[in-house]
């Protein structure tokens, strides 16, 4: 029998950087014992290398804590809107959500998006106003904004009667009063036990004939292969039992025996002989099963329905790397390898769609630049080389054939002195002001703007606000196409030959624009080596060296100071390029280049386009 009487499944949702993962760290520390506590490092749930580097949660993950006689399964969810599909599918495993809201920023776009999904699914919320020890906290105002958000999302009476806690997730305490005791997280655990719905745990032998589980997450394992994570909705099952797999249409996909069963215990997975309804478990032994499939007994013929995921709004084109430096650092180069990897991603991530465009080119559709950039970065680290095109939005068409484009809700927080320049930029990109408010010396402006207007805007926004601005955006709806507008106003500097960049050439070209390469960097014909000061492209000889002679002239050998080359991340480069340009992605180097390397071909292509 289980060592606990009750199970509660709960998800923690919030906007990025509002403190979800840090709160879970302290929930684990205060419920684990002995050496298990020592294993809880900072942001312990962010185990993926990319998550640790960027300080964000990308993949939803499960853990559990034990409080009194109850097992609480906790799902840590991503906070960025680009990974919203991860949140949508894991909500189906839970009966309640902890909504974390920063006491200064208040409800942000991702808060609204995830909360709307949770309320529609009938989940009960517990609201935590986090980081209330900040000197600029707006506790009362933020709580009012939370209530306004619940009313706007049409929460029912039971959902509106949510408990409110005031906390510092970093310091590991929560209180039911703003000025209450600040000791530990016991008030949070007590509210979870009293407010969240408990799962019905059954362990009768008859239950094995009606076992069914919905696969929600995939966890690769080097020894066991694919591990399937999900909630057991009905019945129970033992190791060695024969089960079948049904897709959403009720079609039989696979049959097999379960080789391993796990439940979550703190940060570890515990091997068990049997799992029962109500628990979130992990299963191994079914290689052909993926997200949204139902694992069930052989006499079950109906799959478990799941919430449909919102469609992708942005796409990029991925193709084979055909630059002169192709194959120098990567090991996975062919179109077949790229294709297999992309389709493997579709099995794990239901928010990604792949379209084979022919000519060894694949259109990858997703939620945003960050999500697509994470996929390309993951492939790069796995040894892939590829060429990536400029992101474009996914258009739709109504019954009359009119083109519709995705619109985003953009919220910017800026110092008041920068509000004017941001509004000017947004206006030129077809943005409309929806709301505007001041608090302290900051201004928050809400825009409704075409999604394509935000491609590549992050860097420009940080420049305009001197690095002090914060911007967040979220898909709103499809609406009538807003018309054309210019985004990148500068041309690029293009290398006219192959070789190594020289300090002499870079020094002479500094007045022409901002350089992307440093001395001794390898370049080739057609590679983008800098940003031109003007709006046209310019071919430059960046490999030219100084003529050597035995004659000297006064002042001719003075030291030339070369400005540091501008470094851009993968996402920044993908967002920066124009329609006729590509990003060459390799394990060692990321470069920007023209689609047609030969200048004659470029002119021919531009004439055809015009």
Q: Is the pLDDT of residue 135 over 90?
A: no
Q: What is the CATH number of the domain that holds 42?
A: 3.40.50.300
In this structure, the answer to whether residues 36 and 106 fall within a common structural domain is yes
Q: Hey, what are 289's tokens?
A: 């099963």
- Residue 207's pLDDT is 54
In this structure, the answer to whether residues 460 and 509 fall within a common structural domain is no
- Residue 5's pLDDT is 72
Residue at 324 is within a domain? no
Confidence of residue 205 (pLDDT cuts 50, 70, 90): very low
Identify the residue with better confidence: 308 or 494: 494
- Tell which of 480, 511, 531 closes a domain: 480
CA–CA gap between residue 345 and residue 353 (Å, rounded): 9
CA–CA gap between residue 303 and residue 226 (Å, rounded): 21
Name which of 35-49, 203-217, 497-511 the model is least confident about: 35-49
Q: Is the pLDDT of residue 583 over 60?
A: yes
Q: For residues 286 and 256, is the Cβ–Cβ distance under 8 A? A: yes
Q: Chain-wide mean pLDDT for the chain?
A: 83
Q: Is the pLDDT of residue 571 over 60?
A: yes
In this structure, the answer to whether residues 157 and 212 fall within a common structural domain is no
In this structure, the answer to whether residues 139 and 37 fall within a common structural domain is yes
Residue at 347 is within a domain? no
In this structure, the answer to whether residues 263 and 115 fall within a common structural domain is no
Residue at 330 is within a domain? no
Q: In terms of residue numbers, what domain contains 535?
A: 492-573+588-609
Q: What is the CATH number of the domain that holds 427?
A: 3.30.70.240
In this structure, the answer to whether residues 212 and 152 fall within a common structural domain is no
Residue at 253 is within a domain? yes
Each residue of 91-129: pLDDT tens digit? Answer: 888 889 999 998 888 888 777 878 888 888 888 999 999
Q: Is the pLDDT of residue 43 over 50?
A: no
In this structure, the answer to whether residues 41 and 141 fall within a common structural domain is yes
The phi, psi pair for 501, rounded to 5°, reads -65, 140
In this structure, the answer to whether residues 33 and 178 fall within a common structural domain is yes
Q: Is the pLDDT of residue 38 over 80?
A: no
- Tell which of 460, 480, 500 closes a domain: 480
DSSP of 34-91: THHHHT--TTTT--SHHHHHHTS--S-EEEEEEETTEEEEEEE---SGGGHHHHHHHG
- Tell which of 195, 221, 240 closes a domain: 195
Q: Residue 493 forms beta bridges with which residues?
A: 530, 538
Share of the chain above pLDDT 90, in %: 21
- Of 160-169, 219-228, 368-377, 466-475, highest mean pLDDT: 160-169
Question: If 0-12 CB within 10 Å is exposed, 13-18 middle and 19+ buried, where does residue 488 land?
Answer: middle
DSSP of 216-268: EEEEEETTTEEEEEEEEEESEEETT-EEEEE-TT--EEEEEE--EEEEEEBTE
In this structure, the answer to whether residues 149 and 279 fall within a common structural domain is no
CA–CA gap between residue 129 and residue 147 (Å, rounded): 12
Q: Is the pLDDT of residue 50 over 70?
A: no
- Residue 81's pLDDT is 65
Name which of 23-32, 542-551, 588-597 the model is least confident about: 542-551
Q: What is the CATH number of the domain that holds 532?
A: 2.40.50.250
Q: For residues 42 and 276, is the Cβ–Cβ distance under 8 A? A: no
Q: For residues 100 and 131, is the Cβ–Cβ distance under 8 A? A: no
Each residue of 515-567: pLDDT tens digit? Answer: 999 999 999 999 999 999 988 889 999 998 877 666 555 555 556 678 888 88
CA–CA gap between residue 222 and residue 79 (Å, rounded): 28
Residue at 513 is within a domain? yes
For the segment 455-476, the average pLDDT, to the nearest whole number, is: 83
CA–CA gap between residue 320 and residue 322 (Å, rounded): 6
Q: Residue 244 forms beta bridges with which residues?
A: 255, 296
CA–CA gap between residue 562 and residue 510 (Å, rounded): 8
Residue at 36 is within a domain? yes
In this structure, the answer to whether residues 211 and 182 fall within a common structural domain is no
Q: What is the CATH number of the domain that holds 268?
A: 2.40.30.10
DSSP of 569-584: -HHHHHHH--TTEEEE
Count of positions (residues) in the chain: 610
Q: Is the pLDDT of residue 36 over 60?
A: no
Domain count, the chain: 4
In this structure, the answer to whether residues 177 and 150 fall within a common structural domain is yes
Q: Is the pLDDT of residue 354 over 50?
A: yes
Each residue of 287-336: pLDDT tens digit? Answer: 778 778 888 888 888 888 876 667 788 899 999 999 999 988 889 999 99
Q: For residues 285 and 225, is the Cβ–Cβ distance under 8 A? A: no
- Residue 35's pLDDT is 47
Longest dimension (CA), the chain: 99
Residue at 604 is within a domain? yes
Q: For residues 22 and 43, is the Cβ–Cβ distance under 8 A? A: yes
In this structure, the answer to whether residues 129 and 274 fall within a common structural domain is no
Confidence of residue 1 (pLDDT cuts 50, 70, 90): very low
Residue at 51 is within a domain? yes
Q: How many CB atoms lie within 10 A of CB 537?
A: 19
Q: How many CA atoms lie within 13 A of 510 on its CB side?
A: 14
Q: For residues 483 and 430, is the Cβ–Cβ distance under 8 A? A: yes
């Amino acid at each position: 029998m289980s060592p606990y009487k009750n199970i509660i499944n709960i998800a923690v949702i919030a906007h990025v950087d509002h403190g979800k993962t840090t709160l879970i760290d302290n929930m684990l520390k205060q419920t684990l014992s002995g050496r298990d506590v020592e294993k809880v490092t900072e942001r312990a749930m962010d185990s993926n290398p990319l998550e640790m580097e960027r300080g964000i949660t990308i993949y939803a993950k499960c853990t559990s804590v034990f409080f009194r006689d109850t097992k609480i399964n906790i799902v840590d969810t991503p906070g960025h809107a680009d990974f919203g599909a991860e949140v949508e599918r894991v909500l189906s495993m839970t009966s309640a959500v902890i909504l974390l809201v920063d006491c200064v920023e208040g409800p942000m776009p991702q808060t609204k998006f995830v909360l709307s999904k949770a309320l529609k699914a009938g989940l009960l919320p517990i609201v935590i106003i986090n980081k209330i020890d900040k000197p600029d906290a707006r506790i009362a105002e933020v709580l009012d904004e939370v209530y306004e958000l619940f009313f706007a999302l049409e929460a029912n009476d039971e959902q509106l009667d949510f408990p409110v806690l005031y906390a510092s997730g970093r310091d590991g305490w929560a209180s039911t009063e703003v000025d209450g005791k600040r000791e530990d997280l016991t008030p949070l655990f007590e509210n979870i036990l009293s407010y969240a719905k408990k799962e019905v745990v059954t362990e009768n032998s008859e239950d094995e004939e009606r076992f069914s589980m919905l696969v929600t997450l995939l966890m690769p394992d080097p020894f066991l292969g694919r591990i399937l994570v999900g909630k057991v909705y009905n019945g129970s099952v033992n190791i060695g039992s024969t089960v079948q797999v049904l897709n959403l249409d009720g079609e039989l996909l696979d049959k097999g025996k379960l080789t391993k069963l796990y439940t979550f215990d703190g940060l570890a997975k515990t091997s068990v002989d049997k799992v029962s309804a109500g628990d979130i478990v992990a299963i191994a032994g079914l290689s052909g099963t993926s997200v949204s499939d139902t694992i069930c007994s052989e006499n079950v013929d109906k799959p478990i329905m799941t919430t449909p995921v919102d469609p992708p709004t942005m796409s990029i084109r991925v193709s084979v790397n055909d630059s002169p430096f192709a194959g120098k650092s990567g090991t996975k180069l062919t179109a077949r390898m790229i294709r297999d990897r992309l389709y493997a991603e579709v099995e794990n991530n239901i928010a990604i769609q792949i379209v084979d465009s022919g000519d060894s080119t694949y259109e990858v559709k997703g939620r945003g630049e960050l999500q697509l950039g994470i996929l390309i970065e993951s492939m790069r680290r796995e040894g892939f080389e590829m060429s990536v095109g400029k992101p474009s939005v996914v258009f739709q068409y109504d019954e009359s054939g009119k083109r519709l484009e995705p619109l985003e809700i953009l919220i910017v927080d800026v110092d008041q002195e920068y509000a004017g320049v941001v509004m000017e930029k947004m206006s030129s990109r077809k943005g409309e002001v929806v709301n505007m408010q001041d608090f302290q010396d900051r201004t928050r402006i809400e825009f409704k703007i075409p999604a394509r207007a935000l491609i590549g805007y992050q860097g420009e926004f940080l420049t305009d606000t001197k690095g002090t601005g914060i911007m967040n955006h979220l898909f709103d709806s499809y609406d009538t196409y807003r018309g054309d507008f210019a985004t990148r106003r500068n041309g690029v500097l293009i290398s006219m030959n192959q070789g190594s960049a020289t300090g002499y050439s870079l020094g002479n070209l500094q007045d022409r624009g901002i350089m992307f390469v440093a001395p001794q960097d390898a370049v080739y014909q057609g590679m983008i080596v800098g940003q031109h000061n003007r709006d046209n492209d310019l071919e430059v000889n960046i490999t030219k060296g100084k003529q050597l002679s035995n004659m000297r002239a006064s002042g001719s050998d003075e030291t030339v100071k070369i400005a540091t080359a501008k470094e851009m991340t993968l996402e920044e480069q993908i967002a920066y390029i124009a329609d006729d340009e590509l990003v060459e992605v390799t394990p060692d180097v990321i470069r920007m280049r023209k689609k047609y390397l030969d200048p004659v071909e470029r002119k021919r292509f531009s004439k055809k386009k015009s």
